[in-house]
Amino acid sequence: MSNDYRKTPEALSRLTPTQYSVTQEDGTEPPFRNEYWNNHEPGIYVDVVSGQPLFSSTDKYDSGTGWPSFTKPIEPDAVETKKDWKLILPRTEVRSSGAGSHLGHVFPDGPRQAGGLRYCMNSASLRFVPASSLEDEGYGAYRHLFTTQNQEHAS
């Protein structure tokens, strides 16, 4: 798999209307009615547009908000943030660093023991790659996150 995580016309043409709305028009999907909010399988979440690795299930937790929530990105430079003034109070928007896809927002109310952040993401901006398929799909570099030793530390 290439590490060139850009937005291409071909990638955009494969998106569903909801995926396009969320990633390209800064939309938000409904809580509790999205694909990954209640997914508990081991694996990684990648940008639906570019395939860039973004988050790991080892950092996912149930925030009670109805959207997939993570304590941190899979790599520090996987995401970029900027202030979002669309509501009365400013929020911090999260975008993929490669394709610039809108992913969601980050809030300072996450688990304190894991750094205190809640990356609240839209399922429509993500594609889930099961741990059992990492090598086949070109993400073998992340297999170490799902070894028995790492799983014991995550519990």
Strands (E), the chain: 43-47, 53-56, 60-61, 69-70, 79-84, 91-96, 102-107, 118-121, 126-130
The dihedral sign for the CA sequence 72, 116, 66, 7: negative
Query: How far does the chain reach from its first CA to its final CA, in angstroms?
Result: 31
Q: Is 64 an annotated catalytic residue?
A: no
Residue in 94, 120, 126, 131 annotated catalytic = 120
Q: What are phi and psi of 151, to 5 degrees?
A: -65, -35
Residues classed as catalytic: 120
